[in-house]
């Protein structure tokens, strides 16, 4: 009996390959916008958590050190001589410092920065409604009164914004709210 020298050829036809590429294109067209929205939502959650962490840290530091600790926005959070900016825009970064004279403004020579927090992720805004500082008393109480912060992106639609409220006791409450 004679053996055949013919080998079986394996592979894809051009039609099978075109069909696979078409299906992949449809799946990517559906999936990429969802993935982009997923990334944006995660950035908002991360930014909200960082801000809450900063507020919580300042409160715990005020209790631990039995001193007034103030948070304020700054344009130079990573500089030793950082000072408070006179604006309710917190996305440029913020600092927590021991406010020896309780005037809500950092005196570079006498008031130590206990923690600095860098700027927000690109295109995320953090705004307060009333003031440019949060002051925690030595008891952990909020010495600056009720305050609400809004965290959102430009072009925000639906219920995608975040809101952080600080009570007079210093307790934080977060919520997801409708975009303005």
Give pLDDT, residue 164. Answer: 95
pLDDT at 179 over 90: no
Q: What percent of the chain has pLDDT over 70?
A: 95
Give pLDDT, residue 114. Answer: 93
pLDDT at 3 over 60: no
Q: What confidence tier does 10 reach under pLDDT thresholds 50, 70, 90?
A: confident
What is the SS3 string spanning 16-57? HHHHHHHHHHHHHHHHHHHHHHHHHHHHHHHHHHHHHHHHHH
Residue 66 sits at φ, ψ, to 5 deg, of 50, 45
* Angstrom distance (rounded) from CA 7 to CA 173: 71
- SS3 of 67, please? coil
Give pLDDT, residue 6. Answer: 59
Give pLDDT, residue 117. Answer: 92
* Angstrom distance (rounded) from CA 56 to CA 79: 22
Map out the domains of the chain with their CATH numbers: 15-177 (3.55.40.10)
């Amino acid at each position: 009996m004679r053996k055949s020298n013919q080998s079986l050829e394996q592979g894809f036809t051009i039609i099978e390959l075109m069909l696979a590429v078409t299906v992949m294109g449809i799946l990517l067209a559906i999936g990429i916008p969802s993935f982009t929205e997923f990334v944006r939502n995660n950035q908002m959650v991360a930014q909200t958590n960082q801000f809450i962490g900063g507020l919580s840290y300042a409160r715990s530091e005020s209790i631990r050190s039995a001193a007034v600790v103030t948070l304020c926005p700054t344009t130079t959070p990573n500089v030793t001589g950082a000072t408070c900016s006179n604006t309710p825009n917190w996305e440029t970064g913020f600092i927590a410092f021991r406010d020896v004279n309780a005037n809500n403004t950092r005196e570079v020579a006498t008031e130590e920065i206990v923690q600095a927090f860098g700027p927000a992720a690109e295109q995320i805004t953090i705004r307060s409604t009333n003031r440019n500082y949060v002051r925690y008393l030595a008891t952990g109480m909020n010495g600056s009164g009720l305050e609400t912060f809004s965290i959102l992106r430009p072009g925000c639609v639906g219920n995608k914004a975040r809101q952080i409220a600080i009570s007079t006791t210093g307790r934080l409450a977060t919520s997801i709210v409708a975009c303005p």
